[in-house]
Amino acid sequence: MSHFVVVGAGQAGSSLVAKLRALGFDGKLTLIGDESAPPYQRPPLSKKYLLGDMDLDRMYLRPLAFYADQSIDLRLGQPVTALDPSAKTLVVGGETMAFDQLAITTGSTPIRLPDAIGGNLGGVHTVRTLADVDGMKPAFDAGGHMLIVGGGYIGLEAAAVAAQRGLKVTVVELADRILQRVAAPQTSDFFRDLHTKNGVTLLEGTGLDRLVGDGTVSQAILSDGTVLDIDVAVVGVGIRPATGLAEMAGLTLDNGIATDAFGRTSAPNIWAAGDCASFPYQGGRIRLESVPNAIDQAEIVAANMLGAETEYAATPWFWSDQYDVKLQIAGLNTGYDQVVVRDGGAARSHWYYKAGQLVAVDAMNDPRAYMISKRVIEAGKSIPADVVVDADADLKPYLQ
């Protein structure tokens, strides 16, 4: 009987094993995770779960009984400590396990502050795992002053929750503006105004020199010499692909675990999907950090592990919830040279063009613009900028 093993029990890993069973794989199937919790949703961690609007059992991707019903051996709280591609074995929980095919879906890990600048102090948190958020929840209930390090989406989502819980919130962003790495100035302006109206202090172009405290953080010293008295700090300065296992096994890395268009790594019978994997895209190579990518790529890899030989055609889309604003992003704005604002009042969207071709859209409380733009971009079509700028113009004809 064939034995398929999936290492990484997050969104991609859970999707992959479920798809294998749905496609008829009846061999032995093992899903290994280093966290003690069964596979769960990550996006609500920094939003609904942190706010207390979502209970733990609703966080789980599937009921625990699903894995038993599908004869999936779920190994939790057991990190893989060794992987030998040539012998097709790995070591988990001190046990050597043989496999016929292996998929690595280890996701990503947050970038932490160095210990030398106070990253190891109590009260300094990252937002990535259930344990991370459970550890910081008391701070959101206790009031006080929270420092957010990093003005990206994770940092801003945490800032929104903290402000809604009544905390004093300061965000420091080293770049000239929040969201500089991922969005146009127009989108940065929109969210700057949103957070400012909700009482958040945004310090752009300002770095963190160090955190100080007697065991627990009590002050932040900024790059301009400002000293802030704080009660807690949340670090949201980005994530890195979790490639430790792949590196240990000698797999090729390239901004993550390098795969071909089918999800194969450089080793026979070993695949990768989700945040940890980079893959060919439009003549280059990308790695997508999103739930849709984790699901879609994992399901393609599942089919290919069973011999389908289907290339993964990524359709990038993302979202972020802050206060009463739902941001939906279609496409990738890399290399854009023009941004057009479609202002419908309560609904607003920013349209990115590259040499006259629509490449991405940021839609704020504008699901119609998002859905139309997503379909247009996926079809390789475009909508003229002079049409988009007119909020009354009908965009539906461009779907044909």
pLDDT tens digits, 165-183: 999 999 999 999 999 999 9
pLDDT 10s digits, 12-36: 999 999 999 999 999 999 999 999 9
13 belongs to a structural domain: yes
Say if residue 336's pLDDT is above 90: yes
Same domain? For 105 and 248 the reply is yes
Query: Measured between alpha carbons, how far is residue 340 from residues 97, 216, 361, 377, 397 in Å?
Result: 55, 46, 9, 16, 19
310 belongs to a structural domain: no
CATH code: domain of residue 357? 3.30.390.30
Same domain? For 150 and 244 the reply is no
Over residues 175-199, mean pLDDT: 98
For residue 321, is it left (φ>0), alpha (ψ between -120 and 50) or beta? beta
318 belongs to a structural domain: no
256 belongs to a structural domain: yes
Distance (Å, whole) CA 172 – CA 226: 11
Say if residue 362's pLDDT is above 90: yes
Distance (Å, whole) CA 330 – CA 374: 5
* Of 49-58, 72-81, 184-193, 216-225, the least confident: 49-58
313 belongs to a structural domain: no
For 195, counting Cβ atoms within 10 Å of its Cβ (0-12 exposed, 13-18 middle, 19+ buried), the class is buried
C-alpha angle with apex 207: 325 to 184, nearest 5 degrees? 40
362 belongs to a structural domain: yes
Say if residue 146's pLDDT is above 90: yes
Same domain? For 14 and 101 the reply is yes
pLDDT computed for residue 80 by the predictor:
97
Residues 123, 128, 134, 137, CA torsion sign: positive
Looking at 215, 235, 255, the residue that finishes a domain is: 235
Q: Which residues contact 125 (CB under 8 A, 6 or more apart)?
A: 132, 135, 136, 139, 232, 233, 234, 235
How many other CB atoms are there within 10 angstroms of residue 284's CB atom? 8
Same domain? For 143 and 215 the reply is yes
Say if residue 315's pLDDT is above 90: no
Q: Which residues contact 176 (CB under 8 A, 6 or more apart)?
A: 204, 205
Tokens of 111: 């970038």
Nearest to 396 by CA among 377, 373, 365: 373
CATH code: domain of residue 169? 3.50.50.60
Over residues 210-229, mean pLDDT: 98
pLDDT computed for residue 182 by the predictor:
95
Distance (Å, whole) CA 275 – CA 297: 10
Rounded to the nearest 5°, which phi and psi values hold at 66?
Answer: -55, -45
pLDDT computed for residue 46 by the predictor:
82
Same domain? For 196 and 211 the reply is yes
Q: Which residues contact 360 (CB under 8 A, 6 or more apart)?
A: 329, 330, 331, 332, 333, 336, 351, 352, 377
Over residues 286-309, mean pLDDT: 97
Looking at 305, 338, 359, the residue that finishes a domain is: 305
Looking at 217, 235, 253, the residue that finishes a domain is: 235
Same domain? For 220 and 292 the reply is no
8-state DSSP, 99 = -
Cα distance from N-terminal residue to C-terminal residue, the chain: 49
Same domain? For 124 and 189 the reply is yes
pLDDT 10s digits, 256-290: 999 999 999 999 999 999 999 999 998 999 999 99
314 belongs to a structural domain: no
Distance (Å, whole) CA 299 – CA 310: 10
| Residue 51's pLDDT band (cuts 50, 70, 90) | confident
What share of the chain has pLDDT > 70, as a percent? 100
H helices of 271-366, where?
291-305
pLDDT computed for residue 2 by the predictor:
97
Same domain? For 8 and 100 the reply is yes
Same domain? For 243 and 218 the reply is no
Distance (Å, whole) CA 353 – CA 45: 33
| Residue 50's pLDDT band (cuts 50, 70, 90) | confident
Same domain? For 272 and 260 the reply is yes
Nearest to 132 by CA among 239, 248, 212: 239
Mean model confidence pLDDT for the chain = 96
224 belongs to a structural domain: yes
If DSSP codes are grouped into helix, strand and coil, which group holds residue 317?
strand
Look at the chain and report how many structural domains it folds into.
3
For 200, counting Cβ atoms within 10 Å of its Cβ (0-12 exposed, 13-18 middle, 19+ buried), the class is buried
| Residue 61's pLDDT band (cuts 50, 70, 90) | very high
pLDDT computed for residue 52 by the predictor:
86
Same domain? For 289 and 334 the reply is no
> Domain span at residue 194?
112-235
| Residue 397's pLDDT band (cuts 50, 70, 90) | very high
Same domain? For 88 and 130 the reply is no
